[in-house]
Structure 1
Amino acid sequence: MDDETAEIELLEQNLNKTRQISQRMTSILTSFDGRLVKLEKSILPLYTSTQILTKRGNNIEAALQKIDEVASNQEGIAAEEALILRGPQPEQLAAYTDVLERLNAGIAFNTLERDSRDTARLVETGAKKLAQLFTKLVAGGSSGTPLAGTEFELSPFPQDFLITLQPLVTFLRTLPLPATHPSHPAANAILSTLKDAQRGYADMRGNWGRKCLEVYARRVVERAETIDGVVAGRELGNWVNNLLDVVEEEYGLLTQVGPLSGQAAISATYISLLTPLISLFNSTLTSLLTLIKRSLHKFTFHALSAYSALAAAQTRWDDLITRRAERKENELKENLTTLRGVCLRSFPEFLADIKLAALGKGGEVGTGLADFSISSVRYLEQLIEVRDAVEPALVALGDGNWKMGDGVRVANQPKLGPGSEHILLEHYIYDVVSTVITSLTTLSRMQKRPAFGSVFLLNNIAYLRTNLLKPRAPLMEVLSRPTQDTLNSSFRTAKAGYFDSNFSPLIQALSDEKDKSSGGKAAAKEKFTRFFDLLEETKERHKLARVLEDDEDNQDMLADEVVRLVVPSLQRFVQKQKEKEFSKNPSKYIKLTPEEVEAQIRTFF
């Protein structure tokens, strides 16, 4: 118990100490609280003032930040405006288009702090600057000196310009237009700008294409008077195909780099681009048609060859120019119609020229080849070269109408039309050959000395026959049997006339007559004298009038026939008179032996 009592007393003592300590702490805290109350009362006005100042400081700081932000925005706007007003640089095109894209996006979503009308004006200015760069690049690729070799070559758009142009055009095609952005304030102005740029493009590229083709157009016109007509017509056809190559190339480039890529815009631009090229085509064809019409007989094959070449280009023209450009006009077709009329005129006029040649100029016509014989052979040979133009023209003209009334068709004869081209060509060639032979015959009869006329006719008929009846020649395909028979028959007739006027007198000089016995020897002497006098005349005549010159085969054939005609008669007459001993000195009258006469005759050819 004592221990427990002792512990209790100890606890009471500790409790009293704790109570005393608590009282002292309470007294201290009470005193401290009082002091805090006093301190709060003294600090409260300062705290209130500090809060006001802090709030004002925050407000000032926020205002300063806003001012900095506005100033920064204004600096950005000013920089953008400066960039746009300065215009795009080819090497910095992406930066320029990025600014315009942001401005357009801001207008579309109304996220810009500036006035939308000012922004729209800025976008419009940027579009104009880009259009100016587009025009500058196109002008650079459409200037200078085009290729000008003897053969035409396309002058492609320079690759370095095209590399810059392609991304520019790609962006221009994204600019807002009324069709795609009806509410954009600058859409109408941008559309007007792009239309102007596209019109400028058409003008520059069209005139560049004309410039590339002009030198070759002049060459075609200038050479038309100096080269073969068939070749000249083909040169025109090649030039037209070159023009169509340019047109095709330009259409592809237009679809690639035209700022306005809609079909309507492309068609309108394409039509404008074609204008200078079609103008050049029309002026070139007009010059050639004027030349041909002025002297159709000289330029007949130019007309036919040109018609053939242009007709071959008609399908391509229709595709590239008429249908693709959606045009009603067809200049090639119109010029072909005019050219076709000229070609139809050429057939009767050629026959009329041959007939006119038969009138001659009065006086002697010589014994050589007539100009129209040579030109007729060349004419018929060239017909085959342009057969694809000749046959349809003859169908359009009608069988026999090339005679201008001379050839009346039999009523029951079937009318020849499409499908009968070959027959009509045969008929026309027959009429040409017949007309030439008739004119030659008429001219030969105008000779004052029939012997020279016969040489003239033989030379010309032989020339026709030799040149037209060449084996395996293209012309043989269209020489009908009547035509060949006419040539062969005329040659035989001309040869007979030549024999009759030149060698029949020799035969007649030796012909037998019923002489009286008292006059037989004298008559023989006279006949020998007459024969050798005529032979000398014939010899001198053949020195002046060469027979079948440059035709050795026919010359040899003709010499053989003359020898067979004259020499046997002379041999028989000489033999007969020697047997009768017509003279004591036969060599006085028989100046040449039959063998020597034969040798002399062969020198005539």
Structure 2
Amino acid sequence: MAISLGSRHAADEEARAEVEVLNSRLEKTSQLTKKIQASLGRLEASGKSVQDAVGPLYGNTQKLQIIGTNIDGILTAIDRIRQPSDIKSNEEEIIRRGPEKAGLSAFLGSVKRVSQALAQMQQTNLRSNQQAAADLSRLMKAGNTQLEGHFQRLLQEDSQKVEPLYFITKDKPFPMLSQDKTTRLGLISSHIAAVSRQNRTGDSPILQAYANVRGPYLTQTLQNLASASVNTARKTNADAIYRRGTNGMATYAKGMEGAFLAEYDNICALFSRDEWKKVFNLTCQGAISELARTIRELNTHIKNNLPTDCFLAYEIVEVISTLSSDLETRTGELKPSFAAALKPVKETAKASLGELLEDTRRRINALQTLPQDGAPVPITTETVTRLQTMVEFLRPITGIMISVGDGGWRTNISAASSSDQIPTLKSFDVSADGKLIFAKYCIDTIDTLFNTLEVKAKPLLRGRPVFGIFLANNAVVVDRMIRNSDLAPMLQGRLPSIEKWVKQGEKFYTTPWAEVSRNLMDVTYTNRTSQRPPSGSAAAIDSAAVLKGMSSKEKDVIKEKFRIFNTTFDDLVAKHKSTHMEREIREIMGTQIRQMIEPLYSRFWDRYHEVDKGKGKYVKYDKSSISAVFLSMA
């Protein structure tokens, strides 16, 4: 128990010692806090004193910085004011010397520096720089003007006309600008274009400068080909039909295509893409105007010789349309220009369709006489020859036919109603078949020929037989010429319209032969006591027996029939042999007459040849001899 009290007393003493230590530390902390508070009070008082002292000094420093910045701006402005005078004095000498003496590279650099300085000066808008800006503007304009002149002089050096036939005959490309020239010209073109865009003055003047040099070059280069196209159209024989390829227009077009394509390549190398169209059209217009003048001159010649030279119009339409399409494919340009140039001859080509029909009528009506032997007239051959020649120009002809339309040749086509544009799919019926329309035109031409010949021949050819042979002869000439030419495939199935004229001619020609056959008709009386002649084989007929049952008067009638037949038949045979007949017509007519008469005569002869008892006084022909006559007629 004594031990337990002693232990608790020791613990209490230890706790009191720890409390005393803590109290001692707390007192020291309070003293330190008071010292810190005193220090903070003294620091706050010192800071206020420093702020009062430093504030005015900071404000003065800011003012000094603003003054320094203003001074620097003034110095910079002074430098800018002095700079134009320095640039003018530095660049004026180079620009005054020009690009030839100073060198293109140095000259371009000088002009560009002047341009940049002027642009900067215009941005500052300082009144003191107005005079300097005006001086720099004049200096820049002078430099650009010299560059334009230098551009033209450089271009002119490679723009002497060339002989196009050399390049055409040797199949060589037309010459282009040299690489060195292209490089220098391209630098000038790019600079002037940039200046124009900067100043917003529209197209670069270099475009027109280029066209002013290269346009005449193209025109002069192609001039001889234009002249040759006109000269080759002149005729030594006024009636000669134009033959494909004998005019120089195809060569002219080939030369134009080569020269234009070379020029397009030059332009693409010198100008930006957005400038190609304008400069190419400007450059080519002079040469196209010369082409238009040439076509107008040829058109006048064609109009004056339309029946024979309308084919030249078709060829020109084909050649220029092909040229236009080829160039449009390569360049995308010039189609409207070519369409305008082609318009006069194209209208003549359209009008020629109706004019040729009218010419056929006019020439037939002008005939004073017709062949009295029924021979075909030259106009028939000439009319079909025209159609055969048209087939040689089938490509342009079919296009013209579609443009005119089915039957459109029967009406006058007004030039004023047609478009200046080369036909597009919208300008005619796209479902139309040009060859089919041409076939209809051919049949219309043939009908016009025969209708007019029929009207003309009726009063001029005496007698139905000659009139019939005349129609048939002309028809077979037409039929033969068609079958032996390229017209045959297109007119296949339409030849019956020609055959009807052969049939009509056959009808007129065989009319008197039909009257002859009537004399071979006899009357058989069935109520006679004598036996009726048996029908069937001629060998079964006994002529003597037939005559035995006839009266003298009846026999005289038979004799008269033989006499009339002999006289009429001989006369018709003589006329037949003296009448002009085409080989096919002679065969047709001979066969038709034989089929009409020989069976009747053979029957008549079988029954009545004993009427003159073999003396030949009335019965001139036996069956074999008359058969020989028929054979000689075919």
TM-score, shorter chain, exceeding 0.5:
yes
Measured against the shorter chain, the TM-score band is 0.5 to 0.7
- C-alpha contact 1:307 1:389 (8 A) present in aligned 2: yes
Match of 2:471 in 1: 457
Match of 2:268 in 1: 255
Structure 1 pair 371–317 and aligned structure 2 pair: CA distance change class (3 A): farther
Q: Which of 214, 217, 242 lines up with 1:202 in the alignment?
A: 214
Q: How far apart are 1:290 and its partner, in Å? A: 1.9
Hey, what's the Cα distance between the residues in 2 that align with 1:240 and 1:496?
Answer: 55
Hey, what's the Cα distance between the residues in 2 that align with 1:467 and 1:479?
Answer: 13
Hey, what's the Cα distance between the residues in 1 that align with 2:627 and 2:168?
Answer: 59
Hey, what's the Cα distance between the residues in 2 that align with 1:499 and 1:291?
Answer: 48
Asked if 1:561 is matched to 2:592, the reply is: yes
Match of 1:495 in 2: 506
Q: How far apart are 1:379 and its partner, in Å? A: 4.3
Structure 1 pair 316–364 and aligned structure 2 pair: CA distance change class (3 A): closer
Listed one character per residue, the Cα deviations across residues 341-393 of structure 1 (whole Å, up to 9, x for unaligned) are: 44443444444444456646344444222334324433444555555555665
Match of 1:599 in 2: 628
Match of 1:545 in 2: 579
Q: Which of 572, 576, 579 lines up with 2:603 in the alignment?
A: 572
Q: TM-score, normalised by structure 2?
A: 0.59
- C-alpha contact 1:377 1:467 (8 A) present in aligned 2: yes
- C-alpha contact 2:148 2:209 (8 A) present in aligned 1: no
Match of 2:298 in 1: 288
> Which amino acid in structure 2 is aligned with residue 206 of structure 1?
L
2:217 aligned counterpart, secondary structure: helix
Q: TM-score, normalised by structure 1?
A: 0.61
> Which amino acid in structure 2 is aligned with residue 368 of structure 1?
A
Q: How far apart are 1:569 and its partner, in Å? A: 3.3
- C-alpha contact 2:454 2:471 (8 A) present in aligned 1: yes
Q: How far apart are 1:459 and its partner, in Å? A: 0.8
Structure 1 pair 281–154 and aligned structure 2 pair: CA distance change class (3 A): farther
Q: Which moved more, 1:161-170 or 1:453-462?
A: 161-170
Match of 2:288 in 1: 278
Listed one character per residue, the Cα deviations across residues 18-58 of structure 1 (whole Å, up to 9, x for unaligned) are: xxxxxxxxxxxxxxxxxxxxxxxxxxxxxxxxxxxxxxxxx
- C-alpha contact 1:292 1:300 (8 A) present in aligned 2: yes
Match of 2:223 in 1: 211
- C-alpha contact 1:383 1:390 (8 A) present in aligned 2: yes
Listed one character per residue, the Cα deviations across residues 149-170 of structure 1 (whole Å, up to 9, x for unaligned) are: 9969566227xx7255345435
> After the TM superposition, which residues 521-532 of structure 1 pair with which residues of structure 2 at under 5 Å, given as runs?
527-532=561-566
Listed one character per residue, the Cα deviations across residues 62-99 of structure 1 (whole Å, up to 9, x for unaligned) are: xxxxxxxxxxxxxxx9xx99xx79968xxxxxx95576
Hey, what's the Cα distance between the residues in 2 that align with 1:237 and 1:147?
Answer: 12
> After the TM superposition, which residues 153-232 of structure 1 pair with which residues of structure 2 at under 5 Å, given as runs?
156-157=174-175, 162=178, 165-169=181-185, 172=188, 179=195, 198-211=210-223, 213-218=225-230, 221-222=233-234, 231=244
- C-alpha contact 1:384 1:475 (8 A) present in aligned 2: no
> After the TM superposition, which residues 366-515 of structure 1 pair with which residues of structure 2 at under 5 Å, given as runs?
366=372, 367-382=374-389, 386=393, 389-390=396-397, 393=400, 397=404, 400=407, 402-403=409-410, 418-421=430-433, 427-446=440-459, 447-468=461-482, 475-478=488-491, 483-501=494-512, 503-512=513-522
Hey, what's the Cα distance between the residues in 2 that align with 1:561 and 1:369?
Answer: 21
Match of 2:154 in 1: 134
Hey, what's the Cα distance between the residues in 1 that align with 2:495 and 2:258?
Answer: 46
Structure 1 pair 575–178 and aligned structure 2 pair: CA distance change class (3 A): closer
Structure 1 pair 289–317 and aligned structure 2 pair: CA distance change class (3 A): farther
Listed one character per residue, the Cα deviations across residues 496-522 of structure 1 (whole Å, up to 9, x for unaligned) are: 322224x33543454447999445566
- C-alpha contact 1:461 1:490 (8 A) present in aligned 2: yes
- C-alpha contact 2:222 2:252 (8 A) present in aligned 1: no
Hey, what's the Cα distance between the residues in 2 that align with 1:129 and 1:341?
Answer: 44
Hey, what's the Cα distance between the residues in 1 that align with 2:323 and 2:162?
Answer: 30
Structure 1 pair 121–506 and aligned structure 2 pair: CA distance change class (3 A): closer
Match of 2:259 in 1: 246
Hey, what's the Cα distance between the residues in 2 that align with 1:362 and 1:378?
Answer: 23
> Which amino acid in structure 1 is aligned with residue 161 of structure 2?
S
Hey, what's the Cα distance between the residues in 1 that align with 2:407 and 2:99?
Answer: 78
Q: How far apart are 1:574 and its partner, in Å? A: 3.4
Structure 1 pair 302–337 and aligned structure 2 pair: CA distance change class (3 A): same
Asked if 1:334 is matched to 2:334, the reply is: no
Listed one character per residue, the Cα deviations across residues 515-551 of structure 1 (whole Å, up to 9, x for unaligned) are: 99445566555555544444444444345422124x4
Residue ranges of structure 1 left out of the alignment (5+ in a row) = 1-76, 89-94, 111-115, 406-415
2:581 aligned counterpart, secondary structure: coil
Hey, what's the Cα distance between the residues in 2 that align with 1:489 and 1:177?
Answer: 75
Hey, what's the Cα distance between the residues in 2 that align with 1:150 and 1:603?
Answer: 62
2:158 aligned counterpart, secondary structure: helix
Q: Which moved more, 1:169-178 or 1:198-207?
A: 169-178
Match of 1:31 in 2: none
- C-alpha contact 1:146 1:211 (8 A) present in aligned 2: no
Hey, what's the Cα distance between the residues in 2 that align with 1:530 and 1:462?
Answer: 33
> Which amino acid in structure 1 is aligned with residue 223 of structure 2?
K
Hey, what's the Cα distance between the residues in 1 that align with 2:242 and 2:402?
Answer: 22
Hey, what's the Cα distance between the residues in 2 that align with 1:341 and 1:86?
Answer: 53
Match of 2:615 in 1: 585
Q: How far apart are 1:205 and its partner, in Å? A: 2.3
Hey, what's the Cα distance between the residues in 2 that align with 1:104 and 1:348?
Answer: 66
Q: How far apart are 1:282 and its partner, in Å? A: 0.6
- C-alpha contact 1:221 1:287 (8 A) present in aligned 2: no
Q: How far apart are 1:242 and its partner, in Å? A: 4.4
Q: Which of 144, 165, 180 lines up with 1:147 in the alignment?
A: 165
Superposition RMSD in Å: 5.2
1:231 aligned counterpart, secondary structure: coil
Match of 2:29 in 1: none
> Which amino acid in structure 1 is aligned with residue 452 of structure 2?
S
Hey, what's the Cα distance between the residues in 2 that align with 1:351 and 1:109?
Answer: 74
> After the TM superposition, which residues 349-360 of structure 1 pair with which residues of structure 2 at under 5 Å, given as runs?
349-356=355-362, 359=365
2:503 aligned counterpart, secondary structure: helix
Hey, what's the Cα distance between the residues in 1 that align with 2:399 and 2:144?
Answer: 60
Structure 1 pair 486–596 and aligned structure 2 pair: CA distance change class (3 A): same
Hey, what's the Cα distance between the residues in 1 that align with 2:224 and 2:173?
Answer: 8
Asked if 1:361 is matched to 2:375, the reply is: no
2:165 aligned counterpart, secondary structure: coil
> Which amino acid in structure 1 is aligned with residue 384 of structure 2?
V
- C-alpha contact 1:400 1:428 (8 A) present in aligned 2: yes
- C-alpha contact 2:520 2:601 (8 A) present in aligned 1: yes
Hey, what's the Cα distance between the residues in 1 that align with 2:342 and 2:404?
Answer: 16
Identity %: 13
Structure 1 pair 431–109 and aligned structure 2 pair: CA distance change class (3 A): closer
- C-alpha contact 1:147 1:155 (8 A) present in aligned 2: no
Structure 1 pair 279–555 and aligned structure 2 pair: CA distance change class (3 A): same
Hey, what's the Cα distance between the residues in 2 that align with 1:215 and 1:368?
Answer: 45
Hey, what's the Cα distance between the residues in 1 that align with 2:145 and 2:347?
Answer: 57
Number of residue pairs aligned between Structure 1 and Structure 2: 479
2:375 aligned counterpart, secondary structure: coil
Q: How far apart are 1:458 and its partner, in Å? A: 1.3
Hey, what's the Cα distance between the residues in 2 that align with 1:205 and 1:473?
Answer: 44
Q: How far apart are 1:457 and its partner, in Å? A: 1.2
- C-alpha contact 1:247 1:274 (8 A) present in aligned 2: yes
